Amino acid sequence: MNTNFQMIKELNKKYDAMPHTRGFATKEEVELISKTLCLEEMDILQLRNLRDFVVIFLDQMDMERISKMDKISAITSVIDNYIWKKGGEV
């Protein structure tokens, strides 16, 4: 498994457009996010750290504010779902 930075950079290349549906992540987007960030392999603490890193890293990216927030929201919602599935609080 790569570092959070490497995984986010990889995801950012693959997931460069705004989420397909504003406010929701499609099944394909969920699969892309899950696989690229190796979410299945992480425990709750790693998922929380990754979630925080996503927000900090993507917030510093130079892109339109609306699309940035949609992208952050889509990625963090997928991570939050994994935290919840593993018994953590979101």
pLDDT single digits (tens) 56-79: 998 887 777 767 788 888 899 999
Find the mean pLDDT for residues 47-58: 94
Up-side HSE of residue 30: CA atoms within 13 Å toward CB?
12
In a domain, 34, yes or no: yes
In a domain, 18, yes or no: no
In a domain, 21, yes or no: no
For residue 12, give the amino acid letter: N
In a domain, 37, yes or no: yes
Range of the domain at 44: 4-8+27-85
Query: What confidence tier does 18 reach under pLDDT thresholds 50, 70, 90?
Result: low
In a domain, 57, yes or no: yes
Residue 63 dihedral angles phi and psi, to the nearest 5°: -150, 165
Cα–Cα distance for residue pair 42/82, rounded to 1 Å: 9
For residue 55, give the amino acid letter: V
- Per the CB < 8 A criterion, the answer to whether 3 and 46 are in contact is no
Total number of domains in the chain: 1
In a domain, 16, yes or no: no
